[in-house]
Amino acid sequence: MSNTNSVLRLLVLALLCALALASTMPVSKRQANRESIIKRSRTKAVLAEIRARSPTAVRRAGSATSPAPVPACNAGLQTGYAHYANWDLPGRGGTSEPVDIQQTTATSEADCQAKCDAATGANGATCVGIFWWPANNGFCSLKNSKYTYMASDFQQNGASAASGSATDMLGSCAYWRQFVPAAMDAVCCQS
């Protein structure tokens, strides 16, 4: 019950932050179009599915404590992804669901995110995040919504740190805080 209350507190805090941000934007930027409403609805559904499937034991210990403020990413794009520079979520074999639903190339991080927004995989899977590695010919890996995410799945990408690699996960830093390692959470910025 305590875990549920903590998650609810995080969701309320995220909603309050979103409302505060919306009130500082010009009215024209707050206008919802059909595309943004569909994306927001899809995001909520996918994140609820991941949360329901993830056992409490695999979540990072202490993740439901009061969250630190999350900085905005330098790029300034409002894409709806939590951005983790120099972190990777490598594909792992031997699980019931693969980490990747597709591996492709993209011309930019935004292009890779757009491919994620449009992707679908087997068994109704959708894309819930990306790994973008521009120094490796624009490698773009689309992450599976059906995969059960655990902090131990993510790894710091030291070998390609100078290459601009990043993992972007659909939704907020506050949401993914319960699934990523503490060091990864520390570098999160909201795009």
Query: What are 171's two structure tokens?
Result: 């939704």
Rg of the chain, C-alpha, whole Å: 16
pLDDT digits (tens, 9 = 90+) for 62-96: 444 445 566 667 654 556 888 888 888 876 555 56
pLDDT score of 107 more than 90: yes
Report the C-alpha gap between 93 and 44 in whole angstroms.
Answer: 28
Residues 160-176 have a mean pLDDT of 80
pLDDT digits (tens, 9 = 90+) for 58-69: 444 444 444 556
Q: Which residues contact 116 (CB under 8 A, 6 or more apart)?
A: 127, 128, 129, 130, 142, 143, 170
Stated pTM of the model: 0.66
pLDDT score of 175 more than 60: yes
Which of the pair, 91 or 186, is modelled with greater confidence? 186
Report the C-alpha gap between 86 and 44 in whole angstroms.
Answer: 26
pLDDT score of 106 more than 90: yes
- pLDDT, residue 14, reads 59
CA distances from 9 to 12, 37, 60, 86, 190 (A): 5, 24, 17, 29, 19
pLDDT score of 52 more than 90: no
**Is the alpha carbon torsion for 16, 13, 84, 52 positive or negative?**
negative
Report the C-alpha gap between 102 and 122 in whole angstroms.
Answer: 10
- Closest Cα partner for 164 from 92, 84, 90? 84
- pLDDT, residue 148, reads 83
Q: Which residues contact 53 (CB under 8 A, 6 or more apart)?
A: 148
Please report the DSSP string for 21-87 in residue order: HHHHS-HHHH---HHHHHHHHHHHHHHHHHHHHS-GGGSPTTTTSPPPP-PBPTT----SEEEEETE
Q: How many CB atoms lie within 10 A of CB 120?
A: 13
